[in-house]
Amino acid sequence: MSELNETIQSADWKAEKHAPSISAPEEAFAGRPVTVTASIGAALAHPNTPQHHIAWMSLYFLPDGAKLPIQLAHAEFTAHAESMTGEPGPALTQPRMAAEVQLSKGGTLMAMAYCNLHGLWQSSKAIRVAAAAPDADPASVRVAGPEFLDALCGEAASSPRLRKNANLHAGNDYPCHRLFNALQPGTYVRPHRHLEPSKDETLLLVRGSMGACFFDGAGNVVRTEKLSPGMAVDVPHGVWHTFVCLEPDTVFFEAKAGPYVPMTPEEAAPFAPPENDPAAPDFLAALAKRF
């Protein structure tokens, strides 16, 4: 006779659309609230129709040394665009959940999701818990001065992509991503958009000159802005956009929500050539002429 645990499947959420993605800091402090989120489709979209959908998801915590997990939260996703007409209905629940929890010791966060066609899927993520928040060390304060920016620009010039980023956040799972990005003329950033509602991004130009281009869904340039040092641009999620480097050693600072997830096919502009495509230089040159 088969056991239920024999039917539970697991995989890397970046490569399998059914596997839950867990977002939480690498380390928390005992007794302090921390937000843990779990979702399906962070990297690969899962269908969400009456015929094929994620029905529910549960979040658990297994303390270090314990034999049994503790259920932290459970969510059911009950709207899948049902209708009586054959057309998609007016309501759709996305398979995402969040819980604010307090932990007294480290362990493993676990998520379980149920697909109505493909069964149970699980994933896990370790979390450390420190006894108390340590005093911040003033030596850890970082200053991005001319030497730092010059070095970053040098790395961009020697990179095949003609750009280089320096991350200030601790890791890809960190909830707030902050980074400097150095560009050299000729670097090509394929027009794209971010579909996740939390993925608005803000850029502040630090040095050099940069053009911002915004497109409609057909690939028409509907707005341009030439940025000089001190200017900022805030790009809402869902907007097709790209940036064109207009001067050597251009640097901007960027802030956006984590965690990092790879770009999906729906987020890369179908009207623009991919990086390294023979048509990319001409496409980039046409954009640069607008500035």
Structure tokens at 88: 């998609």
Q: What is the CA radius of gyration of the chain?
A: 22
CATH number of 4-130: 2.60.40.730
Q: Decide if 229 contacts 207 (C-beta within 8 A).
A: yes
Helix count and strand count (H, E) for the chain: 2, 17
pLDDT tens, position by position, 2-41: 788 888 899 888 889 999 999 998 989 998 899 999 999 8
Residue among 14, 27, 52, 275 flagged as catalytic: 52
Check residue 6 and give its pLDDT: 87
Which of 18, 53, 164, 194 is catalytic? The answer is 18
Beta-carbon-side half-sphere exposure of residue 100 (alpha carbons within 13 Å): 3
Cβ pair 136, 146 in contact under 8 A: no
Does the predicted TM-score (pTM) go above 0.75? Answer: no
CB proximity list for 239: less than 8 A, separation 6 or greater: 193, 214
- CATH 2.60.40.730 domain position(s) in the chain: 4-130
> In the chain, which residues fall in CATH 2.60.120.10?
142-288
Catalytic residue among 3, 6, 14, 17: 17
Q: Which two tokens stand for residue 36?
A: 């843990």
Is 80 exceeded by the pLDDT of residue 150?
A: yes
**Residue 20 burial (C-beta neighbours within 10 Å; 0-12, 13-18, 19+):** buried
Is 245 in the active site? no
- Has 17 been annotated as catalytic? yes
The whole-number pLDDT of residue 260 equals 82
Query: Which residue is catalytic, options 53, 80, 115, 213?
Result: 115
74 is an active site residue: no
Give yes or no for a contact between 253 and 179, defined as CB atoms under 8 angstroms apart. Answer: yes
User: In angstroms, rounded to a whole number, what is the distance separating the alpha carbons of residues 178 and 74?
Assistant: 32
Cα dihedral 145, 146, 147, 153 sign:
positive
Q: CA-CA distance, 57 to 33, in Å (whole number)?
A: 21
200/257 Cα distance (integer angstroms) = 7
Pick the range with the lowest mean pLDDT from 155-164, 167-176, 192-201, 272-281: 167-176
Per-residue pLDDT at 262: 81
Any bridge partners for residue 235, and if so which?
A: 201
Do 211 and 221 contact (CB within 8 A), yes or no?
A: no
* Structure-token pair, residue 190: 């394929």
CA distance 239 to 183: 22
Work out whether strand 27-29 and strand 119-130 pair parallel, antiparallel, or are unpaired: parallel
Q: Clarify whether 46 is annotated catalytic.
A: yes
Q: Which of 16, 196, 254, 267 is catalytic?
A: 16
For 201-250, the pLDDT digits (tens) are: 999 999 999 999 999 999 999 999 999 999 999 999 999 999 999 999 99
The active-site residue, picked from 105, 118, 169, 237, is 118
Q: Is 177 a catalytic residue?
A: no
Assess whether 169 carries a catalytic annotation. Answer: no
Residue 95 has pLDDT above 80, yes or no: yes
Question: What average pLDDT does the chain have?
Answer: 93
| Contact between 191 and 241 (Cβ < 8 Å) | yes
Q: What's the confidence (pLDDT) of residue 284?
A: 97
What are the CA-CA distances from residue 221 to residues 42, 60, 194, 195, 266 (Å)? 29, 47, 18, 19, 19
* CATH class (in words) of the domain with range 142-288: mainly beta
